[in-house]
């Protein structure tokens, strides 16, 4: 079954272009296009997309506000911010709101499709310079993780890689561990952070600077 995707974008040309990319791919299906976040929220129960591509600068509710609302009401949906904004504030608040990824609108079509697949598979897709911004945010203030959450050194490293967009297999490969072991570490991280999803874990890590900076 293809990954079902909804697009929220107020620019009609970009909205149609994004839908065209999705509909002409083998692994994705565009099941809805919306000019505002409110329109998606109203239709959400009828379409139940796997992934939402969300602009930030929308009329009415912003994409960040919509992300926070949707993740609260529908925690299983994966939301990728697709925006022209690249400043620290928007990146920070989008991830804290629960966004599964952050991709700029300059992304190539194949990269956009890969981002959708990565988010659906449990990863956190980010444009390379956005990932660097996130890493820089962590480097600014990093209090000891164990003092607050009793994360082990290995759990801190797994969480760091999770925040940088790696999926479970990529983390396993980098740490020379099995995917099964990574899943066990992530379950422990969820328990210690008192969260229930990847996006909540990433948001908590970003808000409270609880991962190592390297």
99-132 pLDDT, tens per residue? 989 999 999 999 999 999 989 988 888 888 787 7
Quote the DSSP letter at residue 106: T
208, 148 contact by CB (below 8 A): yes
Q: What is the mean pLDDT of the chain?
A: 87
Run of H or E including 20 = helix 12-23
Whether 213 has a pLDDT exceeding 80, the answer reads no
Q: How far is it, in rounded angstroms, from Cα 67 to Cα 37?
A: 9
| Cβ atoms < 10 Å from Cβ of 198 | 22
The pLDDT assigned to 138 comes to 62
Task: For residue 145, give both structure tokens.
Answer: 């993780």
The pLDDT assigned to 214 comes to 46
Reported pTM = 0.70
**Is the CATH number of domain 141-208 1.10.10.10?**
yes
32, 47 contact by CB (below 8 A): yes
pLDDT: which is higher, 35 or 210: 35
The pLDDT assigned to 96 comes to 83
Q: What is the CA radius of gyration of the chain?
A: 17
> Which residues are CB-contacts of 113 (< 8 A; sequence separation ≥ 6)?
21, 22, 25, 27, 28
**What is the CATH number that goes with domain 3-134?**
3.40.50.2300
pLDDT: which is higher, 165 or 71: 71
Closest by CA position to 150, among listed 210, 61, 207, 212? 210
pLDDT: which is higher, 203 or 159: 159
- Distance from the first to the final alpha carbon of the chain: 38
The pLDDT assigned to 150 comes to 85
pLDDT: which is higher, 146 or 48: 48
Q: pLDDT band at residue 1, thresholds of 50, 70 and 90?
A: confident
Sign of the C-alpha dihedral computed for residues 152, 158, 164 and 165 taken in this order: negative
Condensed to tens digits (0 to 9), the pLDDT of residues 52-83 reads 999 999 999 999 999 999 998 998 899 999 99
The pLDDT assigned to 131 comes to 79
Quote the DSSP letter at residue 194: T
Q: pLDDT band at residue 145, thresholds of 50, 70 and 90?
A: very low
Helices assigned H by DSSP within 48-177:
63-73, 88-97, 109-120, 128-140, 145-149, 153-163, 168-175
| Cβ atoms < 10 Å from Cβ of 119 | 29
Domain extents for the chain?
Answer: 3-134, 141-208
Helix and strand numbers (H, E) in the chain are 11, 5
> How far apart, in Å, are the Cα atoms of 127 and each of 67, 86, 118, 177, 189?
19, 10, 12, 26, 25
Percent of the chain whose pLDDT exceeds 70? 92
């Amino acid at each position: 079954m293809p990954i079902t995707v909804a697009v929220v974008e107020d620019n009609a040309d970009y909205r149609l272009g994004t839908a065209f990319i999705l509909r002409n791919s083998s692994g994705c299906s565009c099941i809805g296009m919306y000019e505002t976040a409110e329109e998606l929220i109203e239709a959400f129960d009828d379409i139940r997309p796997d992934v939402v591509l969300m602009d930030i600068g929308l009329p009415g509710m912003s994409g960040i506000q919509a992300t926070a609302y949707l993740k609260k009401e529908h925690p299983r949906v994966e939301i990728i911010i697709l925006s022209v904004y690249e400043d620290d504030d928007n990146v920070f608040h989008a991830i804290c709101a629960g966004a599964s990824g952050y991709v700029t609108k300059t992304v190539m079509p194949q990269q956009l499709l890969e981002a959708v697949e990565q988010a659906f598979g449990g990863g956190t897709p980010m444009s390379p310079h956005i990932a660097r911004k996130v890493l820089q945010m962590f480097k600014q203030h990093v209090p000891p993780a164990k003092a607050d959450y009793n994360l082990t050194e290995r759990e801190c490293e797994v969480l760091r890689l999770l925040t940088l967009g790696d999926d479970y297999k990529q983390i396993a490969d980098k740490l020379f561990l099995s995917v099964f072991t990574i899943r066990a570490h992530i379950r422990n991280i969820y328990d210690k952070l008192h969260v229930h999803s990847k996006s909540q874990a990433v948001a908590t890590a970003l808000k409270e600077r609880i991962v190592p900076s390297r």
